[in-house]
Structure 1
């Protein structure tokens, strides 16, 4: 594997053991500290990355400010063409980049390749969007006046992303921000720096080929970078993906300087399994939602709220499905579940299991750490299932691991109340063939989440829809629909083409 990984890194432009951060199109040494990237797949050190220093940060911001002045004047369709070229470059590097995502983060190879496909898809979406940055026209109450609104770039967009989707979430933000006329500065998770370097290298090559300024897209790696970005008034928008705890810090810092933020925070997602559900579909949706990416998605299924009439039957089928799961090297497509990101995540998983037992949970499928020659990294755990009450404090929390909680209900009103009775509000789903149940779930009196699905699980959102959630999930929206508006500022314009100056609301001002 070592030779294959080395070749893969070289194909992505990472050709030495100490790849550094990028300022736009320039790759060079820095004076910052060193960050080591270890694979949770086998525990091996992949490479060391130079973290950005204070001087590096200063340089990047200076370049971004200069680039922003240039980029906002470039016609939006031309900006879209650059994003199109980036999407084409991703197509060429899909296999290598998807493999790197799988190896550095630990998700299955299929999911790694799927994440790169999401990047390609959002580029395609953004290219079309570059010709559709529409404003509205309004009728003025004053004669011979015309009113309309238009959208302008914000300037500099800061993107702070998490380890679990080390490339896709950045692309959601970057593709839209670029076509909207902004420049981007990316602070990735220090747990997956090589994925970020590879992406930046691919985009930097496109920018260089088009003779565009440095600083249109920049990368800063390091644990201290986020605080600098959050408090920097030159960065007009911070898009943050991560925990609710850190999101509060980000939100407070950015708001204190009247900056804008897009917050994509925690999820505690439930699927309601109706007595009128297709049980075959429901089992598939529940299992994938709970164990995909080893439960490390913000949209992972954490809770199953199951009707009492089918509870025993569904529980039996679910346990049987869990017994068939194959856990191991995610680069092997025969495995369903890979490792957690690191040993800290394992510790959090084990503590959650212990806390659930202390609160009265009954485990149908026991969890635990996997050991042996196939699990040398110490990051492989068993997906587990427990019967609980929704009010348990551990159930109210988001544990980034494959722990699934089962809860019984009698009526749909009760199920919806249970679904909504957590602090988070990201994704939700109901499995039912009953049209009335589906419509009630989607109504204003139904799910309080930003995403509500019928007969599909809680994970696997498409880029065409706006992605995000309510309550402690932060209220941000990324990706499709009109999420592009979050990266622009609205301006209302009134044009008087008469030879007088009538005032609004019929006011008279004679001088």
Structure 2
């Protein structure tokens, strides 16, 4: 196996940079260094940790354009989205800079006059994280910031497709004064790093964002050493449009959630479920709007939809479209491609499919591409049944102006994140995570620092 990663631009196939793969010995040494640094970092007071995180955030913002360009080059997303992701990434650092000072303990009234009971919180130890390619900045800071705020040390393995963004963020953290052994990155293949992280005696927690099958394997492998785990896994989000919905607004919000990052997000709407009385109108409006989206290189200022990350991703999306068509779907927009396998770029034009069979692959498997399959429903119960019919429970969306319909959907949809007339519910201040096979734990908000803390209680007797 080659000892370098070839990082390429998915919009052109051009080589951006070669990145050296760390050896197993180097990775294990980094883990040892992180473990040893933990004993010093945990003693740094919370206000100082907060100050260092705030400084890191400021330096990242000072380099916003540089980081955004790196991200677009290696990821392909439009530059405007990359700039937005830098802001999203620093919002997590800012949030947890504040939460560092709020890892409160408490006292509990004792059941006898001779005792006093004190509850304290302490960091779990060295945290090892594996992050995805689709949000290379935000998914890193969403894990690193609460870990460092809690007093943990942190090591991250970025995706092989997009290591450069993470590497630059870590370099800027060092400029802010965060010690090098407290925050580290390593570059390796996922199949290699998973075994090293889960078997290591130094790692006390694994944080992973990625596919459900890999997450399940990491959970199994972490069991032998009883590591803490946070898993943000696959999604297959439904988007329900009720009969009374504002169609123009629903279309605008559907585009926001479906075609961002070329549909390559874990929370994007993958199944569009529309009431039968408005499905024709909604489908027509969506298709017309989608046809106007500009596809191209993310560095071009008017680009709205970039490329698929690689050939494997393209082949899955293309196969899902063809399978849906074979099972009776009607193409209202898209089903066009700009592909050059030799040069290494893969564009799928935003696609809208109507009358999709519920047994089509695209209705059962996560898509990760700019394709909106539309099905219709008659009753609210039927809409919920379709929405809940997969093993996934990460995000769901619905559009209605009737509080009774909205309350029913909220109560019956089995998803950790729900947007009611909102196609963009994510933020550093809210708990992000899924139900069922979409994960364990939450990231963001006050819940996001909890997985990095242990609870200890002290019972003082003979007072």
- Which residue matches 1:222? 188
- Which residue matches 1:316? 284
Deviates more, 1:393-402 or 1:125-134: 393-402
Q: Secondary structure at the match of 1:479?
A: coil
Q: How does 1:388-403 map to 2 (within 5 A)?
A: 388-403=356-371
Are residues 149 and 392 of structure 1, via their aligned partners in 2, closer, same or farther at CA, if it must alter by over 3 Å? farther
- The 2-side partners of 1:410 and 1:137 are apart by 54
Give how far 1:460 is off. Answer: 4.9
Deviation string, structure 1 residues 146-177 (Cα, Å, up to 9, x no partner): 32322101110011001001111110111110
- Which residue matches 1:175? 145
Give how far 1:371 is off. Answer: 5.0
- Which residue matches 2:352? 385
Give how far 1:82 is off. Answer: 0.9
Q: How does 1:323-362 map to 2 (within 5 A)?
A: 323-362=291-330
* Equivalent residues, number: 459
1:481 aligns with 2:446: yes
- Which residue matches 2:24? 54
- The 2-side partners of 1:343 and 1:157 are apart by 32
1:72 aligns with 2:72: no
Q: Is the 8 A contact 1:350 1:368 kept in 2?
A: no
1:415 aligns with 2:383: yes
Q: 2:221 aligns with which of 253, 257, 260?
A: 253
- Which residue matches 1:292? 260
Q: Secondary structure at the match of 2:277?
A: coil
Q: Secondary structure at the match of 2:69?
A: helix
- Which residue matches 2:419? 453
Are residues 301 and 423 of structure 1, via their aligned partners in 2, closer, same or farther at CA, if it must alter by over 3 Å? same
Q: How does 1:453-472 map to 2 (within 5 A)?
A: 453-457=419-423, 459-472=424-437
- The 2-side partners of 1:353 and 1:280 are apart by 25
Deviates more, 1:387-396 or 1:419-428: 387-396
Deviation string, structure 1 residues 261-317 (Cα, Å, up to 9, x no partner): 100111100111011111111001111211110010001110111111111111111
Are residues 466 and 351 of structure 1, via their aligned partners in 2, closer, same or farther at CA, if it must alter by over 3 Å? same
- Which residue matches 2:459? 494
Q: Is the 8 A contact 1:425 1:471 kept in 2?
A: yes
1:43 aligns with 2:13: yes
Give how far 1:228 is off. Answer: 0.8
- Which residue matches 1:265? 233
Q: Secondary structure at the match of 1:370?
A: strand
User: Larger Cα Rg: Structure 1 or Structure 2?
Assistant: 1
- The 1-side partners of 2:153 and 2:289 are apart by 47
Deviation string, structure 1 residues 300-342 (Cα, Å, up to 9, x no partner): 1101111111111111111111111110111223121000111
Q: How does 1:36-185 map to 2 (within 5 A)?
A: 36-185=6-155
Q: Is the 8 A contact 2:398 2:409 kept in 1?
A: yes
Q: Output the TM-score relative to the length of structure 1.
A: 0.86
Deviation string, structure 1 residues 389-412 (Cα, Å, up to 9, x no partner): 334344111021112111111122
Deviates more, 1:32-41 or 1:125-134: 32-41
Give how far 1:497 is off. Answer: 5.2
Give how far 1:377 is off. Answer: 4.6
Q: Output the TM-score relative to the length of structure 2.
A: 0.95
Q: 1:303 aligns with which of 271, 290, 295?
A: 271
- The 2-side partners of 1:392 and 1:275 are apart by 24
Deviation string, structure 1 residues 43-62 (Cα, Å, up to 9, x no partner): 11001001101221132122
- The 1-side partners of 2:170 and 2:35 are apart by 18
- The 2-side partners of 1:368 and 1:344 are apart by 17
Give how far 1:143 is off. Answer: 2.5
Are residues 332 and 366 of structure 1, via their aligned partners in 2, closer, same or farther at CA, if it must alter by over 3 Å? closer
Give how far 1:99 is off. Answer: 1.4
- Which residue matches 1:190? 160
| Structure 1 residue runs without a partner (length 5+) | 1-30, 499-511
- The 2-side partners of 1:475 and 1:55 are apart by 30
- The 2-side partners of 1:153 and 1:407 are apart by 47
Give how far 1:382 is off. Answer: 1.3
1:280 aligns with 2:243: no
Q: 2:372 aligns with which of 398, 404, 408?
A: 404
| Structure 2 residue runs without a partner (length 5+) | none
Give how far 1:84 is off. Answer: 0.8
Are residues 134 and 390 of structure 1, via their aligned partners in 2, closer, same or farther at CA, if it must alter by over 3 Å? farther
Q: Is the 8 A contact 2:16 2:73 kept in 1?
A: no
Deviation string, structure 1 residues 380-432 (Cα, Å, up to 9, x no partner): 11121223133434411102111211111112222122111111100111111
Q: 1:367 aligns with which of 335, 352, 358?
A: 335
Q: Is the 8 A contact 1:233 1:259 kept in 2?
A: no
- The 2-side partners of 1:404 and 1:110 are apart by 22
Deviation string, structure 1 residues 240-267 (Cα, Å, up to 9, x no partner): 0111111111111112321111001111
- The 2-side partners of 1:473 and 1:422 are apart by 10
